[in-house]
Structure 1
Amino acid sequence: MAAVALTILLVIFLGLLVRIAYDTLSCYWLTPRRIKKIMEKQGVRGPKPRFLIGNILDMASLVSKSTSQDMHTIDHDIVGRLLPHYLAWSKIYGKRFIYWNGIEPRMCLTETELIKELLSKYSTISGKSWLQQQGSKHFIGRGLLMANGDDWYHQRHIVAPAFMGDKLKSYAGYMVECTKKMLHSLQTEMDSGQGEFEISEYMTRLTADIISRTEFDSSYEKGKQIFRLLTLLQKQCAQASKHLCVPGSREIKSLKMEVERLLMEIIQSRKDCVEIGRNNSYGNDLLGMLLNEMQKKRGNGFSFNLQLIMDECKTFFFAGHETTALLLTWTVMLLASNPSWQEKVRAEVKQVCNGETPSVDHLSKLAMLNMVINESLRLYPPATVLPRMAFEDIKLGDLHIPKGLSVWIPVLAIHHSKELWGKDANEFDPERFASKSFTPGRFIPFAAGPRNCIGQSFAIMEAKIILAMLISRFSFTISPSYRHAPVIVLTIKPKYGVQVCLKPIDPGN
């Protein structure tokens, strides 16, 4: 009997080994090879990949060369600097080409009609790939940004009310209050003799303060350590992903643990207030919604737990201030280097607000400011690419997209396309947004379709309030010390910050 049992165990063990070997072979060789053949039959080709690492070294080399030097002037023609591999390969292989991030095949797609179809029609059967999820698991984990399928649907449904209707409008007061504090700080420093300011630092602190107060009912002072650690995590994970390392170094894990310890203090404090009877509910901000959801018994195999709540908190702590801070920073840079547009916006704000603090009712009337914000998002979108992996076979226009193929939409290249935007595509011209009718799929700073950025309206409202208040109080010019050097650290950032010279506006003018 013992011999029979041993034989059965050996057969099971060998079966497992064969299964693991097949799955590994399929993952690293058979599936990528099958996808490559399917795409080649449709005329979609690309640079030859190296075994296991694909085209990563080629991309790293091209980006290293293109960003090794700063730009001599403020030039918005930055596609060749930030996406040099896209320019190089699209010239050789055309608008559609396939390249490899390790073993993951990625097809570049720039055709606006197909982009619109992918984002609107296939949102539930496309999403973030395993490599993307692994690359960010220590940074933002499995929060909404990285969730797929039913998990994404449930998470989106839960957090959406925090960014809609009257709830969204209620945040305006916090935004005004926080901005007044920043403007007072700027004025105090000017009174002490300072004339030059690194504006991205102020915008980062301001937007962090706003997201802390509106979504997590805490101040920036309380949350600044979380923001600092998340920024470090972002840099570490971005660096690791460039070299196909699954971020998991001791330093990254240590940073993650410290972020989650700080988040647990905030979460536990909220839970303690309910348990001792000080509060009747966890609150109606985003954190309160998540904690309330955790108490419910949900079907469909989905339920919130503390880890997922922390992942959502990290996602919104990061996404809720990082992208808006960058939008504000690049917009200030553009207005500082285009004084005529700065004066136009200032005149509009003065006319619409009539000396009052901007309110929700004022914002829809600030058409010129809206055009400037859109042009800033076009020239310097927070994310350079928009990825979607097909979880099932997809028919996209004339293309058959096989399961397992990632579609990468080069947002920056599309936003700078002369074919789509005209010969002046690399110039700052907000007038191009005076008309609301333009080709769908060519302007996608917040993605599009059901999986678009959930905080889009929050970010635009916040940007309008801050810029309207700033431009009413100060005029600004680019400092001679400013060095134009956009770089990618997951998002498009100014390598050395944005230095501007401020002057107070005479209230009588």
Structure 2
Amino acid sequence: MEDPGNTKFLSKLRRQGIDVPQPSPIMGNIPEIKLNKSLVQCSENSCNNWKDPPSLDCSSILFPYFKQWTKQYEHHVNDALTFVTGKTFSFRLGTVPVLYVTDPELVREINLCRSLDLGKPAYLQKDRGPLLGKGLITTNRAVWTHQRKTIAPNLYVDKDMLPVVIESAKALVKSWECMVESEGGVADIRVDEYLPTKNNREQWRLEKEIYSMIIHASKECNRGTTAEAMIQILMQGAKHGELGPSTPEQFVIDNCKDLYLAAFEVSGISAIWGLMLLASHPEWQERARAEQFWNDALDSHKLGKMKVLEMVVQEVLRLYPGVAFVSREALQDVKLGKLVVPKGVNIWIWLLELQQDPKLGGADADKFNPGRFANGVSEACKNSQAYIPFGVGARICPGQSLAILEMRVMFAVILANFSLSLSPNYRHIPNFSLLLEPKYGVNLLVRKI
């Protein structure tokens, strides 16, 4: 039998003009998802054409069922709710009801909502507990508020951060130079091996080892580095404020995990996709180099003048945002404009679809064209809500400025030293687990300039 609670959710949404694919009693829409994906997802062999620019439509490859449901329900909209388009519907993952959103006006309402009743989904702690713990990414209400106040002020970019980021990029360049020289001028490099990967996440599952390592670091640190200073800040935050069920030690550990994932791995994966895109479009490599002055050391003033580089970073984040969707859960009934989202319903803002919608981004929305950002973000899309790579609302990523800085420096230092092209060994197979990442890595042919 259908679970009464879920029937209630679905009925409330249907009455407000939100269509729902018919779910099975226990599995929800999971059987349909599996069947649909197996029928229309392209095989890995058919995605292995490296000679042409790779297809950037990850949504059709990874989530074909969303495309099917969008077409199925795009004309079934309650006229009384004109702000909800046919791209808003609900489905169920097992017993979890999910509201799928790519309507920019509904995204705007979510963006404007500051209620703590719109929080992060419970499944993040339940299913991803060993990985994410109870840190800034997963907690809600008073506990999250305290964590945000503790961490966010220390993630804003200042003059002390730039040299650290530059030195990290130079270390990568040095290792590549050795490889290029040893290979006679051109090296086939799997670039993701030099940036954070999912192996780091898998190691975190060894909780006892990670627990001991971070606690040891917190006791030994003396604020000599940025990392040590952040651990000290977390230790102070653990002493003062709402911790919920966490111990002070767990507060430090969980937020160290979340900071690494958000500050390093997410931006690292976006940088990997960015290098793939630059390798596919040598004309943008040349344009980025043309505006740079390499006779002197890179500094914040020069970095700020590199407008083409800024456009490239913004376009990379549009096509390959660090996360595929922004998730929320109604912890109580939440009103978003005219729509009331019942308690317990999850909301997924699907960035891959929203940011590549031709109705919002133009006919070339699925193409790599940094020039769309020539006049800033506001002119790149027909609706400002169609570009939200760092999330929305009160829970927008506090480290977005640092992430952008890391990508800009990485691209600037690499392009100053190397030219890039796709390797014959590159297989364009996007994969989604926790993040959107290349399943088999990214192989590039790297030449010293």
Say whether the 8 Å CA contact 1:99–1:105 is kept in structure 2: yes
Counterpart in 1 of 2:44?
69
Counterpart in 2 of 1:89?
69
| Alignment CA distance shift 1:55-1:261 (3 Å) | farther
Q: Deviations over 1:89-128 (max 9, x none)?
A: 1111221211001111111111112112212324522111
Q: Which runs of 5+ in 1 are unaligned?
A: 1-24, 206-226, 234-251, 274-278
> 2: distance between equivalents of 1:159 and 1:318?
14
> 2: distance between equivalents of 1:453 and 1:441?
15
Counterpart in 2 of 1:119?
111
Q: How much has 1:283 moved relative to structure 2?
A: 8.8
Match of 1:189 among 179, 198, 209: 179
Say whether the 8 Å CA contact 1:382–1:445 is kept in structure 2: yes
Counterpart in 2 of 1:264?
215
Counterpart in 2 of 1:307?
250
> 1: distance between equivalents of 2:117 and 2:152?
20
Letter in 2 for 1:492: L
Say whether the 8 Å CA contact 1:282–1:289 is kept in structure 2: no
Instruction: Say if 2:390 is the partner of 1:446.
Output: yes
Q: How much has 1:51 moved relative to structure 2?
A: 2.1
Instruction: Say if 2:422 is the partner of 1:494.
Output: no
> 2: distance between equivalents of 1:327 and 1:46?
33
Letter in 1 for 2:303: L
> 1: distance between equivalents of 2:414 and 2:243?
48
Say whether the 8 Å CA contact 1:204–1:325 is kept in structure 2: yes
| Alignment CA distance shift 1:160-1:379 (3 Å) | same
Partner-residue secondary structure (3-state), 2:340: strand
Counterpart in 1 of 2:304?
364
> 2: distance between equivalents of 1:75 and 1:89?
22
Counterpart in 2 of 1:417?
357
Q: Choose between structure 1 and 2: higher helix proportion.
A: 1
Matches within 5 A, 1:236-251: none
> 2: distance between equivalents of 1:414 and 1:146?
24
Instruction: Say if 2:260 is the partner of 1:317.
Output: yes
Say whether the 8 Å CA contact 2:312–2:370 is kept in structure 1: yes
Matches within 5 A, 1:158-177: 158-164=150-156, 166=158, 169-177=159-167
Partner-residue secondary structure (3-state), 2:446: strand
Instruction: Say if 2:8 is the partner of 1:34.
Output: yes
Q: How much has 1:374 moved relative to structure 2?
A: 0.9
Q: How much has 1:502 moved relative to structure 2?
A: 1.3
> 2: distance between equivalents of 1:300 and 1:230?
24
Q: How much has 1:299 moved relative to structure 2?
A: 6.5
Matches within 5 A, 1:273-284: none
**TM-score, with length taken from structure 1:** 0.78
Letter in 2 for 1:40: R
Say whether the 8 Å CA contact 1:109–1:407 is kept in structure 2: yes
Q: How much has 1:397 moved relative to structure 2?
A: 2.7
Say whether the 8 Å CA contact 2:136–2:255 is kept in structure 1: yes
Counterpart in 2 of 1:157?
149
Instruction: Say if 2:170 is the partner of 1:180.
Output: yes
Say whether the 8 Å CA contact 1:487–1:493 is kept in structure 2: yes
Counterpart in 2 of 1:21?
none
> 2: distance between equivalents of 1:441 and 1:126?
18
> 2: distance between equivalents of 1:44 and 1:181?
52
> 2: distance between equivalents of 1:281 and 1:447?
29
Say whether the 8 Å CA contact 2:234–2:251 is kept in structure 1: no
> 2: distance between equivalents of 1:501 and 1:229?
25
Q: How much has 1:357 moved relative to structure 2?
A: 2.6
> 2: distance between equivalents of 1:281 and 1:361?
24
Instruction: Say if 2:422 is the partner of 1:478.
Output: yes
Q: How much has 1:355 moved relative to structure 2?
A: 2.2
Q: Deviations over 1:136-168 (max 9, x none)?
A: 1111111100011111111000001221253xx
Instruction: Say if 2:433 is the partner of 1:455.
Output: no
> 1: distance between equivalents of 2:255 and 2:307?
33
Letter in 2 for 1:427: K
> 2: distance between equivalents of 1:435 and 1:56?
43
Counterpart in 2 of 1:392?
332
Match of 1:78 among 49, 55, 58: 58
> 2: distance between equivalents of 1:129 and 1:191?
49
Letter in 2 for 1:156: R
> 2: distance between equivalents of 1:303 and 1:495?
35
Partner-residue secondary structure (3-state), 2:364: coil
Q: How many residues align?
A: 425
> 1: distance between equivalents of 2:302 and 2:168?
18
| Alignment CA distance shift 1:108-1:157 (3 Å) | same
> 1: distance between equivalents of 2:225 and 2:43?
53
> 1: distance between equivalents of 2:121 and 2:371?
38
Say whether the 8 Å CA contact 1:113–1:440 is kept in structure 2: no
Q: Which runs of 5+ in 2 are unaligned?
A: 75-86
> 2: distance between equivalents of 1:260 and 1:122?
34
Counterpart in 1 of 2:82?
none
Counterpart in 2 of 1:246?
none
**TM-score, with length taken from structure 2:** 0.88
| Alignment CA distance shift 1:391-1:259 (3 Å) | same
Partner-residue secondary structure (3-state), 1:357: coil
Partner-residue secondary structure (3-state), 1:362: helix
Instruction: Say if 2:281 is the partner of 1:338.
Output: yes
Instruction: Say if 2:26 is the partner of 1:57.
Output: no
Q: How much has 1:29 moved relative to structure 2?
A: 2.6
Q: Deviations over 1:8-28 (max 9, x none)?
A: xxxxxxxxxxxxxxxxx9xx9
> 2: distance between equivalents of 1:457 and 1:77?
27
Instruction: Say if 2:201 is the partner of 1:230.
Output: yes
> 2: distance between equivalents of 1:407 and 1:334?
30
> 1: distance between equivalents of 2:335 and 2:434?
30
Say whether the 8 Å CA contact 2:134–2:246 is kept in structure 1: no
Letter in 1 for 2:89: F
> 1: distance between equivalents of 2:398 and 2:387?
17
Counterpart in 2 of 1:224?
none
| Alignment CA distance shift 1:301-1:261 (3 Å) | closer
Q: How much has 1:485 moved relative to structure 2?
A: 0.9
> 2: distance between equivalents of 1:300 and 1:328?
34
Letter in 1 for 2:91: Y
Counterpart in 1 of 2:78?
none
Q: CA RMSD in A?
A: 2.5
Instruction: Say if 2:234 is the partner of 1:290.
Output: yes
Partner-residue secondary structure (3-state), 2:291: helix
Partner-residue secondary structure (3-state), 2:421: strand
Letter in 1 for 2:326: L
> 1: distance between equivalents of 2:250 and 2:67?
41
Could you tell me the percent identity over the aligned residues? 31
> 1: distance between equivalents of 2:269 and 2:227?
30
Counterpart in 2 of 1:236?
none
